Amino acid sequence: MEDRYKILAVDDDPANLFIISEMLGDEYEIKTAASGEEAFTVLNTFTPQIILLDIMMPGMDGYEVCQKIKSEQRFSKIKILFVSAKDMVEERLAGYRVGGDDYIVKPFDQDELLAKIKVYLRFRYNSEDSLEEEIEKQEQQPQVFQQINQYFSSILYVQSIFPYCKVVCKSDEADALLLRTTLKNLEANFHEKDLLRVHRSYLVNPLKIISFQRKGTQDYIIVLKDNDAQMVQVPVGRKYQTTLKRLNPKWFISN
């Protein structure tokens, strides 16, 4: 399944991480972390829709991790489900107080966990569909297009981090621009020769494409080069591969 929803599981017990990975790995893109500190390292490059979070861990406990995640705007849309052996009412309430969205007691029932994940994903994206329509009707969209045009020669890619789009011009993303718009809106206003859809969450500047590289048996990544000759990689959604090969077969010749 292409462009799968992303889940981060955080637990200091390798057995629990293995069980969750085996249970969810066929349907979702899973990353794991053995501590709160490692979770934040993962979050630097991986933005999940849901985090499954243990409470009792060395270093930062689950409550601290949740509170820190919820305090950062870039993570505001992530749903956090505590998965813990702590089953007292006060412990559950503490989880909700720090921003947790739900609480599942170990040992958990697999069907219950799967059902909760599907409910939260459905709720999240139904809500975002309505918000997307609202954004597309906003009068400030021409201003957004002006900003895109201003930086266009330097743009590497645009990533959807709903309800914003992150416009990235440099490999370190330090000067990334956040605009309140949608990829759908940008795609409709910029021809594919200017901003090219390559993934459910990415548009790229085709002038910055260096090559396509195979990743696994069916997947590709795009290699882009910024103005400082630094390389950046962006994933390619499987359903976009045919269109991309039609646009420029040479991109894929060496692959």
pLDDT of residue 57: 94
Q: φ and ψ at 209, to 5 degrees? A: -75, 125
pLDDT in tens, 208-239: 998 888 877 767 888 998 888 889 998 888 88
pLDDT of residue 38: 96
pLDDT of residue 8: 97
pLDDT of residue 139: 46
Beta-bridge partners for 1 = none
pLDDT of residue 80: 93
Residue in the structure block whose two tokens are 């849901």:
50
Beta-bridge partners for 84 = 105
SS3 label, residue 103:
strand
Query: What tokens does 147 get?
Result: 């900003």
Tell me if 6-130 shares its fold with 141-252: no
Name the maximum alpha-carbon separation found in the chain: 61
Query: What tokens does 244 get?
Result: 């991309």
Triad 79, 40, 164: Cα angle to 5°: 55
Please give the chain's pLDDT, 255 residues, in tens.
346 889 999 999 999 999 999 999 888 999 999 999 999 999 999 999 999 999 999 999 999 999 999 888 888 889 999 999 888 888 888 888 888 888 998 888 888 888 888 888 876 655 555 555 554 555 445 666 777 777 778 899 998 876 678 888 887 776 788 887 888 888 877 776 688 999 888 999 998 998 888 877 767 888 998 888 889 998 888 888 888 888 887 776 654
pLDDT of residue 27: 86
Candidate CATH numbers 3.30.1380.10, 2.60.40.60, 2.60.120.260, 2.40.50.1020; the one for domain 141-252: 2.40.50.1020
pLDDT of residue 32: 96
Q: Which of 117, 81, 118, 116 is nearest to 99 (CA)?
A: 81
Say which CATH class 6-130 falls into: alpha beta
pTM of the model: 0.51
The secondary structure of residue 34, as a DSSP letter, is S
pLDDT of residue 123: 64
Q: Domain map of the chain by residue range? A: 6-130, 141-252
